[in-house]
Structure 1
């Protein structure tokens, strides 16, 4: 019985791989089909799996550092405009600068956990990589992103006040804005953010030029910022900066935020993008 099931699964997988190989653009203007985007996503994911651990760690560390430029601009905009427009309006304005770090990371091809969540899950769904290898690579990327975020947060805490860009009150308010929610709310919010980031990766595969990619990144990430959805890597910089500088941000509060934000981001990207997009393609294939 088990052998029969295994044979049927192998047959089905062969049909899926064959259909993916045949996938191509459907229109004269070069618009990519669902299958073509899925094939590119799986291929890109497999390329990441094949990189050395040291390369992955360094690239993810770089992403953690670069995403800190979003935090620098968030603090600068909030500190400047809150004097005239009030805190609520000023925080909404940070959505205009929030995408800058993401543009640097994604176009610079550093490895960001939330952008890679869906991408790295697809080869597992396609049975080209194991769950254990997925968890291992997630662990490396998360570690690099978090360490990089801590390093850039420490630097910005030192340079920001000395350049008169922001003060520690601003740092505390931004950290409290990210953590002042229940664990369930942080998880649910992060799940939506992970969903958007997974969708961002999918949309970038369908775009053909740099300008359109920048527009897509801006739309998705500014939406996250304006609505206050929790992003574990930017949030790591925000909350770690608060942990270092404010007695109101305890280590327990930082850890609670980080765990639920990471878990939510992972679920959003892996389930609502990778799994659903993959299954939408697979369910349309007849086993031959």
Structure 2
């Protein structure tokens, strides 16, 4: 026992909280490491990941870009096919589009997880390195990648549409369902379609931005963003081109109608949404920090 005038620690005894202080220090150190491991990457880190991805894509050989883009066009065609399958087996009800729109996500899941080249992903990944270093060489490399990937994507969806329309692969009722779904792309004027393309381009760029920090949740990010495109009735140039080609090949629309009524407006809108809006905002967030 301590004397009446003694205070704790005055007789050489260690302070009562000395051990607990050391313990707290050790715990704090572990907690710091745990926080760092669990926390999402900072915005400049995400920016740098996306920018480096764009740089890597811009220097890939032409043949690699072409075949990867062609594979993406083929894969994205399954969005329309799965939508038609779901629509065939779900009763007509006000909530049906909420379910059938999940089918729209299937093609995107295949493309993104397989790391295939999709034009609307490159609207943000390629533009970030161009904005960081706006040289003629970078502008040329970005234009080269965009042209190759877009042509390859459209060639893939054209082949898929021809395969579905001109071969006995699909039963007639399934093909009819795909054509019926496809008619929606011509249900709006060119200006409306362009604005719907802006929304789709922004959502696709958002998906690209979210993926680096998603870790094990990448599937959820892809499904959520692309489901929103479908259920919102927005215009995606590559997925919509499958629908456009189905209409043309089955005599439901002319090439001029789908080009001026959907393909060109959707393309312009996607570029604006993914590049002029999202990429500029993404760069503006970090330009002072990366400098």
- TM-score tier by shorter-chain length is 0.7 to 0.9
Paired residue for 2:236?
231
Cα distance in 2 for partners of 1:278, 1:102 equals: 25
1:278 matched to 2:286? The reply is no
Give the Å deviation of 1:246. 2.6
Seen in structure 2, the aligned counterparts of structure 1 residues 183 and 104 have a Cα distance that, compared at 3 Å, is same
Cα distance in 2 for partners of 1:105, 1:62 equals: 8
CA RMSD, Structure 1 to Structure 2 (Å): 2.0
Paired residue for 2:188?
181
Which residue, 149, 160, 184 being the options, matches 2:157? 149
Greater Rg by CA: 2
- Match of 2:196, SS state, is helix
1:58-115 Cα shifts (integer Å, max 9, x gaps): 100000000111111112222333xx315x6544432121111111100000000111
Kindly tell me the number of residue pairs found equivalent between the two proteins: 254
Cα distance in 2 for partners of 1:234, 1:160 equals: 22
Give the Å deviation of 1:159. 5.3
Paired residue for 1:97?
103
Which structure 2 residue ranges, 5 or more long, are not aligned?
Answer: 1-34
Which residue, 36, 51, 63 being the options, matches 1:27? 36
Q: Structure 1 length normalisation: TM-score?
A: 0.82
Seen in structure 2, the aligned counterparts of structure 1 residues 171 and 99 have a Cα distance that, compared at 3 Å, is closer
Paired residue for 2:256?
252
Matched-pair contact (CA < 8 Å) for 1:149–1:233: yes
Cα distance in 2 for partners of 1:231, 1:160 equals: 28
Paired residue for 1:15?
none
Which structure 1 residue ranges, 5 or more long, are not aligned?
Answer: 1-25
1:37 matched to 2:46? The reply is yes
1:62 matched to 2:68? The reply is no
Give the Å deviation of 1:137. 1.1
Matched-pair contact (CA < 8 Å) for 1:160–1:166: no
Matched-pair contact (CA < 8 Å) for 2:80–2:178: no
Cα distance in 2 for partners of 1:264, 1:173 equals: 24
Matched-pair contact (CA < 8 Å) for 1:171–1:242: no
1:213 matched to 2:218? The reply is yes
Give the Å deviation of 1:173. 2.2
Give the Å deviation of 1:250. 1.3
1:109 matched to 2:115? The reply is yes
Paired residue for 2:142?
134
Cα distance in 1 for partners of 2:290, 2:49 equals: 18
